[in-house]
Chain A
Amino acid sequence: MNLADMQRDFYAWLTDGALTVEPQVPEPARRGLAVYHNALRANLIDCLSDSYERTHAWLGDAAFDTAARGHIENHPSRSWTLGDYGAGFAETLAGLYPADPEVAELAWLDWTLRRAFDGPDSPELDTASFAEIDWEDALLRIAPTMSVRRLTTNAAAIWSALASGSEPPAPLRLDRPAAVVVWRQEFSPRFLTVSDSERHALGLAMAGLPFGDICSELRDDFPDDEAATVFVGAMLARWLAEGVIVGVETNRI
């Protein structure tokens, strides 16, 4: 058998869930094959457990192990790095736990925070020039690690409780979905539940709209101009302070 065929056969055997060995394989090799067969699953389960630490804690060892093994059987790794392997596990959990949507939402938080941890860096924000900025035309550069989605459950509260070692709340569905944003501030991955207006503004900024246009779009969310201005001012200040905005591109006055 040539090298390529041997490797294809070996890999197919490794990833086959059943540890079956052809009867003509001698005993020493059978023992060795079992080592490799077990190691593949152990490595990938460890990888998923590491990437989905809070989800693992929420489900418990037995349920997490079952979910991970099922995922591994149906999702061979196609990346050179184990760091990519967890992509798609939240969808697997969504399929396994349709009546418990907090599980997949916890997994989304775990995965997105992990990706933010070693995601792209941003240049240091040059705040010294802000006084000269024409904010009406300014384009806000949002942190490259930013992700936004709506959660239907209190998964964010569960995640925070698990992370702090306190008793997590019982899972519940929210009256209406809540927007959660995930990003990295300096070296620390963070998430925050935000209002629909802030989610809307963030989406517009990420789409490249000038700040003035974002303000106009938000105007209808508020009863009057003053309320809108106060909201936008506070949001902008927080975005700048918390590393949501990592750059401002503008024509200088």
Chain B
Amino acid sequence: MRASHLPTFQGFGLGLRTPHYKDFLTATVPVDFVEIISENFMVQGGRPLATLDQIRERHPVAMHGVSMSIGSADGLRLDYLRGLKALADRVRPLWVSDHLCWTGIDGLNSHDLLPMPYTEEALNRVCANVLHAQDVLERPLLIENPSSYLTFADDTLTEWDFLEEMCRRTGCFLLLDVNNIYVSGMNHGFDPLTYIASIPADRVRQIHLAGHTHGRAGLLIDTHDQPVPDPVWALYEAARRRLGPVATMIERDDNIPPLGDLLAELDMARTLSMEAAAA
């Protein structure tokens, strides 16, 4: 299915993480939406799904996955797509997203977001997989730009050109991870502002903000275990100026602080967003 339309949603949200379930269930948390890791709720029953049902009554939910493997050369797993569809039918999410990456092949899984070569062959495969996923899910996908730690010698496209062409051919949308642009830019030597200036702005439906760490080998690592750093905030301002209002969230997956700390970061995003709008 070539997707055509997905309503915009403008607001500020957080990734829903287990240490904060109680906060979300017992208090009014000032967020416009929450994002779940889809796979955490692709289970048969028990407390996770019951908790999600309760939080869904209070907040719009975006579904974000890590297991679709949209770049796998041997196609997508139908059992995964059907499970994701069942969860989406239950949650009625704002949208469903995953990453531009591959996680495995031939039925084997690394459970990591592995890098894609940016070639015409890879583009053809990704587009075929996106169309297949959109057929099964009966909704458009958002694809997130990844962090990566290597590039391939036979790359013929930039990442932003790859994403633009993928959107054009499949009608899918983008989840722009500003931290990932910064991490990959520093790791591979491209200017993050060039990336921001080159992406198809009309396809971006969500922004991720996160922190990273400096790895031992001189690479930046997308760890999501730190507050959003200043260079990523600066890049967010640039993205916000280019894109206009876009749903924005703080993505924290490790070293998770009290909810108040993340809400303070979200207030920072609100402030910068307002300043960008006024500029």
Give the B-binding residues of A (Cβ under 8 A).
1-4, 6-8, 10-11, 14-15, 28-29, 31-36, 39-40, 43-44, 47, 76-83, 85, 116-121, 184, 187
Contacts and interface: CB of A to CB of B under 8 A. Distances in A.
Interface in B33-53: 39, 42-50
B46 A35 contact: no
Question: Which 7 residue pairs are nearest across A and B when measured between Cβ atoms?
Answer: A32-B150, A121-B45, A32-B149, A4-B73, A118-B43, A31-B217, A118-B46
B44 A35 contact: no
A79 B217 contact: no
Interface residues of B, number: 47
Given A4-B105, A81-B42, A14 B111 contact: no
Binding site secondary structure of chain A: helix
B107 interface: yes
29 contacts: A3-B121, A7-B102, A8-B106, A11-B104, A11-B108, A14-B114, A31-B217, A31-B219, A32-B148, A32-B149, A35-B217, A36-B115, A36-B150, A39-B112, A40-B112, A44-B111, A78-B107, A78-B108, A80-B79, A80-B109, A81-B42, A82-B111, A83-B39, A118-B43, A118-B47, A119-B44, A119-B46, A120-B45, A121-B49
A3 B219 CA distance: 25
Contacts of B79: 80
Which secondary structure dominates where chain B touches chain A?
loop
Nearest to A28: B150
A69 B82 CA distance: 32
Given A32-B150, A40-B112, A79-B109, 9 more contacts: A2-B73, A6-B152, A8-B106, A11-B106, A31-B150, A35-B219, A36-B114, A36-B115, A187-B47
Contact of A11 (B47, B105, B117, B221): B105
A195 B112 CA distance: 45
A2 to B, nearest CB: 6
A122 to B, nearest CB: 8
Contacts of B117: 3, 6
B215 A35 contact: yes
B164 to A, nearest CB: 20
Nearest to B149: A32
Contacts of B105: 4, 7-8, 11
Contact of A77 (B110, B114, B122, B217): B110
A7 B72 CA distance: 8
A120 B150 CA distance: 42
Contacts of A187: 46-47, 50
Given A11-B105, A81-B67, A184-B46, A4 B74 contact: yes
A124 to B, nearest CB: 13
A42 to B, nearest CB: 9
A80 B150 contact: no
Contacts of B7: none
B55 to A, nearest CB: 15
A77 B46 contact: no
A36 B42 contact: no
